[in-house]
Structure formats: structure tokens, C-alpha cells
Amino acid sequence: MHRVVILGSGFGGLHAAQALRRGPVDLTVVDRRNFHLFQPLLYQVATGSLSPGEICTPIRAILRKQKNARVLLGEATGLDAAGRRVILADGATSCDTLRYDTLIVATGAQNFYFGNASWQEIAPGLKSIEDATAMRHKILYAFEAAERDPDPTRRRAWLTFVIVGAGPTGVELAGALAEIARDTLRHDFRAIHPEESRILLLEGSPHVLPSYPEKLSMDAEQSLIKLGVLPRTNVRVTAIDQASVTLDSGERIETRTVLWAAGVAPSGFGKVLASEFLPAALLDKQGHVMVSPDLTVPGHPEIFVIGDLAHFEQDGKAIPGVAPVAMQEGRYAAEAILDRLRGVTRPPFHYHDKGSLAVIGRAAGVADLGRLKFGGMLAWLAWLFIHLMYLVQFRNRLIVFIRWGFQYVSFDRGARLITGEDQPPQN
């Protein structure tokens, strides 16, 4: 049997595995987590709308009926390209190395702080469940700390929320946070008024949602303003500490809650591919692996790189690192493997862009579907439907649908839990 190893069970890795379900292959999926994470809804975990289990599905449950697949919990830390072996971190077990005939690398991305690693402890991003629960802790604890702090200046700092980055994640996070303050928590406190919170959305580009057409960006900005969010464009953050954010203009914003949505970087496995084991793998400035038209590493047709780790150019520019790209690349890699086994050469990969959606708040969103561009309630409904359909299991779809329906009617968010270690108010 042809041995296929897939590193990572995100959108790309999972779709590749499922596309190989009827192929004459011996498939192994390796991930350092035992679950598939639906990342587009992480911000709803961070804002108490959903619980972690509602956007995660165990990998073994997904591939349970796929008889040619097995799942290993582990982290790939090295590669022997000549010997076609993946080296796993837990070398004390019998699975310290894993042989392959074809390797699909889909290890995803991580938060990127533009060389300021110290910001990570202060400003959590949104790439993992741990990130989301840490952000939820930070948001909800800010209201609790403000309630018990008698000093007006410190209280104002606790009720000032700064979101860095106004891409889809930042916009969706800002809208959800505004709804928490304005609706969900409005009557829950006695000493403070959550609806008077300041929510600042900072963006270095001239518009929020910079990848969208200008008209939709302006519509999104107006929707955010109606929710009470204060978008600030053409500004850049130069410093973040426990008590403030400093902008390139020299302005210092007093805040105890900074949330990061400004950038991501490819996983560290790109450096493994570019190491002495595989000198043919070239990285771009951000650390993405430069791949051939068939998504393989130049000189190594047995190694596919897909998803957020890959740098693939189409029509003269790199395609974005979003879920639809990863899913299409995963299916392509699987079909290319099956074609090879049949002695057929597959044409180069081509990404079919079906458009982009972003939700801003209650019954508000924007949709860029090629020739069709619209906003408002219709875009919001389209976003809800598509995200429900992309959730892996029917159980998760049903639970999320019920939660969204209840939240729409009641304005309540049932997962407002402060978990993790307490951080006492810093006076």
C-alpha cells in the first residue's frame, strides 16, 4: 500500500484525508491536538457565544469509518527527506519516526507579533482554543475588575478595550464585544455601566476590512460605529504594556485589555523543510514555503505543502491564507496522489475564489462574492448559513444553530465563563 502521511488536521489536512478515503493508500494523520478546530468561530468562544466543544470535533470521530486511515497524537519536529521519514517529538515511543511515500504538510499558522514576542502575553491572539479562552478571561475579567475598582481613572482603563487589526477577525471580534457591553451585560452590574465601554479598533490601512472593496469597507465601518465601536485607521501600534498601548503618533491609550487580530505567520515546520534535510525548500519573507504549480516542494514531488504554510502564486500574486484555499488545496493534493497511482498527471492547481464574508454584529455583515457585493441582513444570513454548513458534524451544527437562535432572541451569551488563573486588578 502507498503510505501517505498528513501533518495537521486543519481544513487542508482534513479535506485531504477525507478525499483519500477510497484510495489504495495507507493513510496516517498526525496532529499535536486530538481535535479538528473550526477557527472561523474562535471569536465566538472568546466572546462567550459558544463553548470550545461546539467548534471542535475529535479527529478520530471524523475518520472513524475511514478504514484506510489511522490517527496519531504527536508533533513533527524533523524530517529525513532522503529516507522519507518524519521525526516526531515523542521519541521515547515506538512512533519516534514515521515512514511515508507521500507527505502532505498542513501544519497551519500561528500568531505573529511583528518581532515583538513580549506582546503575546499581554495581547492574546485567536489561533487556538487556548487563545480564545484566554481572551474570554481577559474580556470578562475587565468588567469584573472595573466593578470593584473605586478609582474613576483606573475604572475607565478597565473599560477601554483595544483591538489591534481590522481584518475579518478584528471586525467580527469588535462587533461581538460591542454587543456584549451594550446588550448582554447591560443590567448585570451595579457600580459600572458596561454600555459605556470604549472599544477601539486599530488598523494601519486606510479602511477596515482592507482586503474588501472600498464600498463594503465603508459600510462595515458605519455598522461598527452604530454598535459603539471606534474604528481608527492609518494608525500603527509601536508599544504594548500592561497598562497602555502606544501609537506611532506618540499617543498613549490607557487600557488593561488589548486583543490581537493584526497578523499571523506560518507554522515553524517551514523552517524544518528549509533545513539541511531539504535545502530545495525556499521560504518567502514571512516563512511560507514556496511551492510548485502542483503544490509540491521544488525537487521533491513526494512532498505537498498546503494551507497557511504554502506560498502559491496565481495571476501574479499570492493567494490568501484562508479556509477555502486550504480546503481546495487539500482536495487537490489527495486527487494528485490518486492520479499518480493511476499513472495520470494532474494539471496544476487553480484556486476558485467563491468570495468572502464577514459578520459585524446582529443582523449586519458584508459579502464580496465576485460580481455580487452586498451588506446588511442578507450578508449576515449568508454568513450564518455557510458557517453552519462548514462545521464538521451534524451535532455541532444543530447545537450552534440553537445557540445562535436563542442568543438572537434573548441577547444572552451562555458561555460567559472566566476560566484559568485569576489576575488581580493592577492598581
Grid coordinates belonging to 137: 478571561
Q: Which of 54, 172, 179, 329 is catalytic?
A: 172
Burial per residue of 104-124, b for 16 or more beta-carbon CB atoms within 10 angstroms, e otherwise:
bbbbbbbbbbeeeeebbebbb
- Residue 32 sits at φ, ψ, to 5 deg, of -80, -10
Report the C-alpha gap between 169 and 268 in whole angstroms.
Answer: 22
Q: What is the DSSP string of 319-353?
A: PP--HHHHHHHHHHHHHHHHHHHTT-PPPPP----
Q: Taking a C-beta distance cutoff of 8 angstroms, is the pair 159, 146 a contact? A: yes
Strand order across the 76-80 sheet: 76-80, 85-88, 97-99
Q: Is 370 left (phi over 0), alpha (psi -120 to 50) or beta?
A: left
Q: Hey, CA dihedral for 248, 249, 250, 251, is it positive or negative?
A: negative
Among the listed residues 353, 241, 301, 298, the one whose alpha carbon sits nearest the alpha carbon of residue 102? 301
Report the C-alpha gap between 271 and 278 in whole angstroms.
Answer: 10
- Residue 213 sits at φ, ψ, to 5 deg, of -55, 150
Q: Taking a C-beta distance cutoff of 8 angstroms, is the pair 111, 120 a contact? A: yes
Question: Does the active-site annotation cover 172?
Answer: yes
Grid coordinates belonging to 378: 442578507
* Per-residue 3-state assignment (H helix, E strand, C coil) for 109-138: EEECCCCCHHHHHCCCCCCCHHHHHHHHHH
Catalytic residues: 172
